[in-house]
Amino acid sequence: MAASGLRYNLLYSHYWLAGAAACALGARRKLPWVHTAHTLAIVKNRHLAPGDRPEPEIRVDLEGEISRCADLLVVSTEAEGLDLRRAYGVAPERVFVLTPGCDLDAFEPGERAEARRLVGHPGERLFLFVGRLERLKGVDVILRALSLVTAGGRHPEARLLVLGEDSGTGGESERKRLMSLTFELGLSGQVEFLGPVPQSRLPVYYAGADACLMPSYSESFGLVGLEAQACGTAVVASHQVGLASVVRDGVTGFLVDGPDPAAYADRMLRLLEEPGLSERMGERAARLARGLSWQRSADRLLRRVDDLLEAGPRRGGQLGVQATSSHR
């Protein structure tokens, strides 16, 4: 920082690894420090998918230290703020709830039939998953749901497109595991794993889908769900707090309790078989998303940061070698 010749007014860190670095920098430079965790280890460990590995204790401990030291903690939902307060004793005035937004110029409704033609699936019914391929995201749940939807030759026109990069955590390939399950379920002709897709191409995939599926075991905020809804697409998601803050059950999509393939299949069948339901939900979803722009979120954050700059940094301490946490 000193070598650059630039003057900095604020530190803003994202995720726990950057937070650890920012804690040391903030103590040396006496700068106000804002942190966004995006996900918390204590929450992820509370909602582990079967066979998934828990987050390491060092992450839990460091997130506790970061939470106690940062001047301002930005969270996506009230529930996320409550998790911080309960786990680490964070004072309410240091927590700022900021609903993330969506780029409404990039993500907007499109004509569904044309979108399906552009992604190579004219005349078919599409379900979409977008996100990292890791057990936490629950893609195996919707693969089993699709097998129920298409059982006995029912709805041969239904397809699932899986967009996203393999996380490769712990040396395991989630993509390979999911592709193996796809083969076991006899769905090789109904499921495509397309890998990561450029953001500029995402809107056409969203617009072509009957629904975007989000069966995550935990989510701090459903940004994918917001993008899908901005494109006029219904969302079928797990009833997690971060997703429930975006999806209106029975209005812009469905919220499903628990990782139950039959429950997801039920909602998917309703969208396939009830005339106009997917379109009606998509129209309402687009109206909801129009009130959640990135500009709105940025303006709210800037106002809060201005207040923080006026007040100056707390003396919350420096990240200690012997980290402790109050979650146990």
Query: Quick check: is 328 in a domain?
Result: no
Q: What count of Cα atoms within 13 Å lies in the side-chain half-sphere of residue 1?
A: 12
Alpha helix positions (H), 235-327: 241-244, 261-273, 277-289, 294-311
Residues 201 and 57 in one domain: no
CATH number at residue 302: 3.40.50.2000
Query: Quick check: is 56 in a domain?
Result: yes
Residue 181: per-residue pLDDT: 98
Report how far residue 25's alpha carbon sits from residue 39's, in angstroms, rounded to the nearest whole number: 22
Residues 81 and 30 in one domain: yes
190, 149 Cβ separation under 8 angstroms: no
Chain centre distance of CA 28: 33
For 147, the domain range is 112-289
> For residue 56, what are its two tokens?
């390491």
- Signed CA dihedral, 317, 319, 321, 326: sign only: positive
Residues 136 and 273 in one domain: yes
Number of domains in the chain: 2
Query: Quick check: is 48 in a domain?
Result: yes
Query: Quick check: is 321 in a domain?
Result: no
Region at 111 (left for phi over 0; alpha for psi -120 to 50; beta for the rest): beta
Query: Quick check: is 42 in a domain?
Result: yes
Residues 243 and 178 in one domain: yes
Amino acid type, 221: F
205, 106 Cβ separation under 8 angstroms: no
> For residue 131, what are its two tokens?
């996100």
Query: Quick check: is 5 in a domain?
Result: no
pLDDT (tens place) for every residue of the chain, 328 residues total: 445 667 888 899 998 889 988 887 866 778 899 999 988 888 888 888 888 889 899 999 899 889 988 999 999 888 888 888 888 889 999 999 998 899 999 999 999 999 999 999 999 999 999 999 999 999 999 999 999 999 999 999 999 999 999 986 655 799 999 999 999 999 999 999 999 999 999 999 999 999 999 999 988 788 999 999 999 999 999 998 888 989 999 999 999 999 999 999 999 999 999 999 999 999 999 999 999 999 999 999 999 999 999 887 765 544 443 333 333 2
Report how far residue 115's alpha carbon sits from residue 235's, in angstroms, rounded to the nearest whole number: 17
Residues 203 and 299 in one domain: no
> For residue 147, what are its two tokens?
């097998």
pTM of the full structure: 0.84
Residues 195 and 244 in one domain: yes
Residues 135 and 149 in one domain: yes
Calculated CA dihedral for residues 32, 328, 98, 106, nearest 10 degrees? 110
Query: Quick check: is 4 in a domain?
Result: no
Residues 97 and 227 in one domain: no
137, 237 Cβ separation under 8 angstroms: no
Residue 326: per-residue pLDDT: 32
Residues 132 and 43 in one domain: no
Strand, coil or helix: 13? strand
Nearest alpha carbon to residue 181 among 168, 194, 190, 171: 190
Residues 160 and 15 in one domain: no
Residues 143 and 127 in one domain: yes
Residues linked to residue 134 through DSSP beta bridges, in sequence order: none
Residues linked to residue 205 through DSSP beta bridges, in sequence order: none
Residues 254 and 302 in one domain: no
> For residue 303, what are its two tokens?
């106002």
Query: Quick check: is 80 in a domain?
Result: yes
> For residue 294, what are its two tokens?
């990135």
State residue 175 phi and psi, 5-degree precision.
Answer: -60, -45
**Contacts by 270-279, CB closer than 8 A, 24 or more apart:** 271/210, 271/211, 271/234, 271/236, 272/125, 272/149, 272/155, 272/158, 272/210, 278/210, 278/211, 278/234, 279/112
